[in-house]
């Protein structure tokens, strides 16, 4: 049996105990808020991980690619939302999944998409995407197109409801701001839902979610379901937002020291952006973690030691700017862990999770790659 000392680096280690603790914590949160939890499986992109997160594969889940939907459906998933605006050319794959008995719904925010869905020979349920924070896609909660789209879907497909994502929560750095955004997300979804019901249209699902707003939201009255994904693994962005701590991060990249540049204050490793990703999502946060926080193999961080730069297969470790610390003694061959900025991006760089119990690797969970 391999362990963290013997497997070739870099590789992605998964602390299963932390994963399960994170999942239990969010499920308890959803229960307390009185909503259905629909985990977003884009973070893990893995059938064994999905089984661990959902318990029963028939439980509600969210996906970001049709490849994920197809793989999870083959493993028993029956209740999915494909939460990326639908491209008409992908509708035959959606229809094929529905033909196998999978209740998969799509999302959209335009008349053109609605007409494409409504023209399908097989009725496909769709949710109207609502933009409640100006962070990404969707219609404004009071946009007149909402009712127009709703009528098209109700006549020719299946109007499932409305959906929004509180992505701007990643820029909220205190509890009051986060709670306000969670309320804004809720209220925007409810405004859009009311527009549909006032027009005599159905709106059975009112879906909101992001890990930060799920964690900080205090009142989801009127909301039917909560979607979140990165809470499963957590990452440095979540720790920076106060959604847990570094000790909750379940996935880390194991790497080896391969060089030193003493005059520059650098330590060089074999984990570059092909292992860590180039996500620098903490750059705008109060604490910038570079491209990852460096820890000993047992998971204990080295204070201010971060990945300051990455090239394809090299990681440059250095002290955080302004640090008064000193570089640790890390000889050639030393093994380290790198906690990632954004778990979703880092997971997508690897073929599998090395599932760990302490230092032992107990099994490998394949990761889906592609679309």
pLDDT digits (tens, 9 = 90+) for 291-313: 999 999 999 999 999 999 999 99
- The whole-angstrom separation of Cα 74 and Cα 58 is 11
- The whole-angstrom separation of Cα 100 and Cα 82 is 16
The contacts of residue 81 (CB under 8 Å, 6+ apart) are: 38, 60, 61, 62, 63, 104, 105, 106, 107, 127, 163, 207, 227
Q: Is residue 2, in this structure, part of any structural domain at all?
A: no
Last residue within a domain, chosen from 233, 261, 276: 233
* Per-residue pLDDT band at 135 (split at 50, 70, 90): confident
* Whole-number percent of the chain with pLDDT over 90: 97
Shared domain check, 106 and 247 = no
Tokens linked to 368 = 């889906």
Q: Is residue 89, in this structure, part of any structural domain at all?
A: yes
Residue 1 has pLDDT above 80, yes or no: no
Phi-psi region of 163 (alpha: psi -120 to 50; beta: other; left: phi over 0): beta
Shared domain check, 280 and 351 = yes
Last residue within a domain, chosen from 184, 211, 233: 233
Convert the pLDDT of each residue in 210-269 to its tens digit. 999 999 999 999 999 999 999 999 999 999 999 999 999 999 999 999 999 999 999 999
Q: Is residue 49, in this structure, part of any structural domain at all?
A: yes
Its domain, for residue 170, covers 17-233
Output the pTM of the full model: 0.95
State the average pLDDT for the chain.
Answer: 97
* Sign of the torsion formed by the C-alpha atoms of 10, 16, 17 and 21: positive
Q: Report the pLDDT value the prediction gives residue 152, as an integer from 0 to 100.
A: 98
CATH number at residue 341: 2.40.37.20
Domain count, the chain: 2
* Per-residue pLDDT band at 116 (split at 50, 70, 90): very high
CATH number at residue 28: 3.20.20.10
Q: Is residue 57, in this structure, part of any structural domain at all?
A: yes
């Amino acid at each position: 049996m391999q362990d963290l000392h013997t497997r070739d680096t870099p590789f992605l280690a998964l602390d299963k105990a932390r994963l399960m603790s994170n999942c239990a914590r969010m499920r308890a949160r959803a229960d307390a808020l009185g909503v259905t939890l629909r985990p977003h499986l884009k973070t893990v992109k893995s059938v064994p991980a999905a089984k661990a997160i959902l318990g029963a594969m028939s439980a509600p889940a969210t996906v970001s690619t049709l490849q994920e939907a197809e793989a999870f459906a083959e493993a028993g998933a029956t209740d999915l939302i494909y939460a990326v605006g639908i491209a008409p050319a992908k509708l035959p794959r959606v229809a094929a999944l529905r033909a196998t008995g999978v209740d998969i719904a799509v999302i959209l925010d335009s008349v053109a998409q609605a007409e494409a869905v409504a023209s399908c020979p097989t009725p496909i349920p769709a949710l109207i995407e609502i933009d409640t924070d100006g962070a990404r896609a969707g219609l404004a909660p009071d946009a007149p197109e909402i009712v127009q789209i709703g009528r098209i879907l109700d006549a020719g497909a299946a109007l499932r409801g409305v959906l929004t994502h509180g992505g701007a929560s990643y820029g909220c750095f205190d509890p009051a701001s986060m709670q306000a955004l969670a309320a804004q997300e809720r209220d925007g979804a409810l405004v859009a839902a009311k527009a549909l019901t006032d027009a005599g249209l159905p709106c059975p699902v009112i879906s909101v979610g992001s890990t930060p707003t799920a964690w900080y939201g205090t009142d989801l009255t009127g909301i039917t379901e909560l979607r979140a994904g990165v809470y499963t693994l957590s990452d440095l962005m979540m720790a920076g937002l106060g959604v847990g701590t570094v000790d909750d991060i379940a996935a880390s990249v194991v790497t080896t020291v391969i060089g030193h540049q003493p005059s520059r204050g650098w330590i060089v490793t074999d984990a570059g952006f092909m292992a860590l990703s180039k996500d620098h999502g903490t750059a705008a946060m109060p604490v910038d973690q570079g491209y990852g926080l460096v820890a000993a193999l047992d998971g204990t961080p080295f204070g201010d030691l971060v990945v300051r730069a990455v090239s394809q297969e090299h990681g440059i470790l250095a002290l955080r700017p302004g640090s008064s610390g000193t570089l640790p003694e890390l000889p050639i061959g030393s093994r380290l862990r790198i906690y990632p900025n954004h778990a979703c991006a880092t997971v997508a760089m690897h073929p599998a999770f090395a599932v760990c119990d302490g230092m032992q690797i107990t099994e490998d969970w394949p990761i889906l790659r592609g679309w």
